[in-house]
Amino acid sequence: MPAPPPPPLPAIGFAATGLACRRGERLVFAGLSFLLAPGEALLLTGPNGSGKSSLLRLMAGLARPEAGLLAWDGAAVGDDPAAHRARLHFIGHQEAVKPVLTVAETLAFWAGMRGGGDVAAALGRFRLETLADWPCRMLSAGQRRRLALARLAASPAPLWLLDEPTTALDSDALADLLEAIAAHRAQGGRVALSTHAALPLAGATNLSLADFTP
Amino acid sequence: MSPFRLLVQRDLRLALRQGGDAAMVVGFFVLATILFPFGVGPEPALLQRIAAGILWVTALLAALLSLERLFQADWEDGSLEALALMPLPLEAQVLAKCLAHWLVTGLPLIVAAPLLGLLLNLDAAGYPALLAGLLLGTPTLSLIGAVGAALSLGARRGGVLLSLLVLPLYIPVLIFGVGAIEASIGGFAARPHLLLLGALLAGALPLSPLAAAAALRQALE
């Protein structure tokens, strides 16, 4: 079936048209389109290997799409990668945590690389205050995850891209994350996240990657 | 603090807390140099003749030793992916990491080299050229090495591949580094050799970060 011609890109919002992704020889998905307006959330679902992580990496600009276009407010993302990097937070599968640095040092570094931010508030938001001076090698998997997520709160960015953020989180930390996402959206922020668990995100758009498997 | 300085500071802090790297590099430099008198015999005249070459070759190999970890650790724990998405261009980040790598490994080599020169009976006239040559040459080793480290990222047996990639590119630094010492011992000017070492550094300074950053992007995709 020939792909329909991609519709024109909307002038507002983070949008994609006719997106395709190839991993090695395999076409993971094709003809994928979405629109993420300010304050909206995009929930990526689908079986293992359906391309949730690949799509998030495309959105972040870590990989190039095989076909299609990603645009921010009507301007192609690939035209100005530096501006795109400045407006997004990407939390991948790995926490980017160094065993010998303390929790506070780790967070201060990542916030500082983005021009600074409120480290103390971010630690509080994800209940890490009491762990602030711990070296990261002492942290459990869930605590490391919370530290990675605290980067979201430490420095502002209008777009959050989260790859399975709920992995290893306990119910309190999950509530903290949902609260942080709600506050981010209330300020006009956008979030795209992949998940296997059903997340209670009000008014989120569900994008099932299985629908775009060629 | 600027993101550039922040990254240098983080890498220095990691190196100091993990220990290892600087001590390993200097330890290798000292041990490898000490092997030569055992291998070729303790005759002072012979050692004096080959001292410059020994010092530079072992310094080169010692610098190579720590390069494999330059991006490897950041790549494995996801830091590299996160760094690549920071506003600071990846090229500048490579430069920051090279600076930290040089401070941790190159600088100790420069401090240790005169002592090993004594051990090998290096002619007194050669010391200024040895120090000036290492000061200009070791940053180039870190910069060229960064390209190799980025290219061999994710490869199985990356360390061996890295040596094969980088060692041929180290030859000019070796030639002019040794040339400066030999010239000043022989009563000639070391300046032309040092100027050429400076030119290599001036070339590597902008080109290596460009090449290494491109290789890192490829590795991340």
CATH number at residue A100: 3.40.50.300
- B8 Cα to chain A: minimum distance (Å): 11
**Which range has the worst mean pLDDT, A6-20, A23-37, B77-91, B184-198?**
A6-20
Instruction: Measure the CA–CA gap between A37 and A26, rounded to whole angstroms.
Output: 31
Those of residues 30-69 in A touching chain B at CB distance below 8 A are 60-64
Residue-level pLDDT at B204: 97
Closest-CA residue of B relative to A65 is: B221
ipTM value: 0.90
Specify the number of domains making up chain A: 1
**Does residue A1 carry a pLDDT above 70?**
no
Main-chain phi, psi angles of A46, to 5 degrees: 145, 160
For residue A39, how far is the Cα from the chain centroid?
Answer: 14
Main-chain phi, psi angles of A39, to 5 degrees: 85, 0
Decide if A189 is inside a domain. Answer: yes
CB of A24 within 8 Å of any CB in chain B? Answer: no
The pLDDT > 70 percentage for chain A reads: 95
Those of residues 66-85 in B touching chain A at CB distance below 8 A are 77-79, 81-85
**Does residue B21 carry a pLDDT above 70?**
yes
Residue-level pLDDT at B151: 94
Strands A75-76 vs A159-163: parallel, antiparallel or unpaired: unpaired
Nearest to A60 by CA among A196, A194, A202: A194
The token duo for A30 is 């094709």
Containing domain of residue A41, as a range? 14-199
Show contacts of B34-41: CB within 8 Å, 24+ apart.
B34/B119, B36/B120, B37/B119, B37/B120
**Does residue A3 carry a pLDDT above 80?**
no
Containing domain of residue B143, as a range? 3-220
**Does residue A45 carry a pLDDT above 60?**
yes
- A58 Cα to chain B: minimum distance (Å): 9
Instruction: Measure the CA–CA gap between A55 and B17, rounded to whole angstroms.
Output: 37
Amino acid letter, residue B7: L
Show residues of chain A in contact with B77, CB under 8 Å: 94-98
**Does residue A12 carry a pLDDT above 80?**
no
Amino acid letter, residue B109: L
Main-chain phi, psi angles of A40, to 5 degrees: -95, 160
CA atoms B132, B19, B217, A33: torsion sign: negative
DSSP secondary structure, A150-211, as one string: HHHHHS--SEEEEESTTTT--HHHHHHHHHHHHHHHHTT-EEEEE-SS----TTPEEEEGGG
Residue B3 CA: distances (Å) to CA of A100, A208, B90? 20, 38, 12
For residue A154, how far is the Cα from the chain centroid?
Answer: 15
CA atoms B12, B14, B19, B22: torsion sign: negative
Local structure of residue B150 (DSSP, 8 states): H
The token duo for A128 is 């890490």
Residue B179 CA: distances (Å) to CA of B116, B141, B169, B188, B196? 18, 17, 17, 10, 10
CB B84 within 8 A of CB B90: yes
CB pairs under 8 A between A and B: 65
Closest-CA residue of B relative to A115 is: B3
Show residues of chain A in contact with B3, CB under 8 Å: 112-115
CB of A122 within 8 Å of any CB in chain B? Answer: no
The pLDDT > 90 percentage for chain B reads: 86
Choose among B6, B78, B85: nearest Cβ to A109: B6
Show residues of chain B in contact with A101, CB under 8 Å: 10, 13-14, 17
For residues B22-40, average pLDDT: 92
The token duo for A111 is 């916030």
Specify the number of domains making up chain B: 1
Residue-level pLDDT at A11: 66
Decide if A1 is inside a domain. Answer: no
Residue-level pLDDT at B30: 95
Decide if A206 is inside a domain. Answer: no
CB of A137 within 8 Å of any CB in chain B? Answer: no
Those of residues 140-199 in A touching chain B at CB distance below 8 A are none
**Tokens 């070459």 -> residue:** B53
Closest-CA residue of A relative to B85 is: A85
The token duo for B39 is 């291998």
CB–CB contact A90 B81 (8 Å): yes
- B92 Cα to chain A: minimum distance (Å): 12
CB–CB contact B82 A92 (8 Å): yes
Instruction: Measure the CA–CA gap between B206 and B91, rounded to whole angstroms.
Output: 9
